[in-house]
Structure 1
């Protein structure tokens, strides 16, 4: 159920920021941004910090790989808003829309390396079942993925399992393809701050 407060419950400075976003992007402000700015002291500031670190902090994974992880986790959760947002962002980051769509259509035949495939498979299992085993971790490690890469992938998974659930609970409105592409450009330029 979408609370009306997401449309109107903001301080004057935030309303001005939203007006500037609409002016320069010529797109509506995404509900993900509205939620983060609604109660910054309760959820938004902590969420932005955690998500930005997971998605843009130092990591052996590229930004494109982490955006693909976000899209994949969102696909497992069937969260349409986040699938659209992170598919567009991963496609722009890779500069390869076909690759991203191939992963989301069929992970096993997609044109990605075995380490990323094993990592996505593990994130999918964790998202679906809420648990992974030592054997799942050994399978990922056997492809040459490091413990640090696993930890970084798990941070992405955690961030988007939370975001996906909030998007579904609050009924985030879907954007047009232009809206998702505009948001992707912003995320690639500024991150999640």
Structure 2
């Protein structure tokens, strides 16, 4: 059930910003963006900062890798809006649609580097089970992932487990492929701020 709160409660200045974005992009503002503008003092400002740091801050993981992590966590959570948004963004970041599709279809048979595969496997387990063992972490490190890369991947996982739940709770509207592509272009250019 879609909650109507995302359609109301914005200041006139914010409504004007939404109209300008729609005018220049040719697409309505996605619900994910609307959510961070609703009560920014309570959620939006902090969420944008945390997610931007996880997705665009310094990391040995590429932007494509982190977008793929976001898409993978979203797939495990079955969050349709976020799967669409971050699959489109990973595709554009990598410039490799078949690679992204292969990982999301079957991680174990996809042609992907072992450190990334081990990390995605760990993020999937953590997302499904809500816990991860020290042994599972040792396996990720043994696959060639640095402790800092593990922390960076966990930040992506935290950001998107939160976002996925909000997307599903608020009933984010699914976008057209063109709108997801436009959103991906924006995320790659500007990040999550």
Shorter chain as denominator, the TM-score bin is over 0.9
CA displacement at 1:9 relative to structure 2: 1.4
Is residue 103 from structure 1 mapped to residue 124 from structure 2 by the alignment?
no
CA displacement at 1:85 relative to structure 2: 0.0
* Equivalent position of 2:56 in the other structure: 56
Distance in 2 of aligned mates of 1:111 and 1:82:
23
Stretches of 4+ aligned residues off by more than 2 angstroms: none
* Equivalent position of 1:46 in the other structure: 46
Q: Tell me the alpha carbon deviations over residues 109-165 of structure 1, each in whole angstroms, 9 at most, x when there is no partner.
A: 111100000000000000000011111011100111100000000000000000000
* Equivalent position of 2:165 in the other structure: 165
* Equivalent position of 1:80 in the other structure: 80
CA displacement at 1:34 relative to structure 2: 0.5
Distance in 2 of aligned mates of 1:5 and 1:75:
26
Distance in 2 of aligned mates of 1:74 and 1:14:
28
TM-score where L is the length of structure 2 = 0.99
Distance in 2 of aligned mates of 1:69 and 1:52:
14
* Equivalent position of 1:143 in the other structure: 143
Which residues in structure 2 correspond to 1:95-134 (within 5 Å)? Answer: 95-134=95-134
TM-align CA RMSD = 0.6
* Equivalent position of 1:66 in the other structure: 66
Distance in 2 of aligned mates of 1:110 and 1:9:
45
In structure 2, runs of 5+ residues without a counterpart are none
Q: Tell me the alpha carbon deviations over residues 3-29 of structure 1, each in whole angstroms, 9 at most, x when there is no partner.
A: 222112111111111111111111111
TM-score where L is the length of structure 1 = 0.99
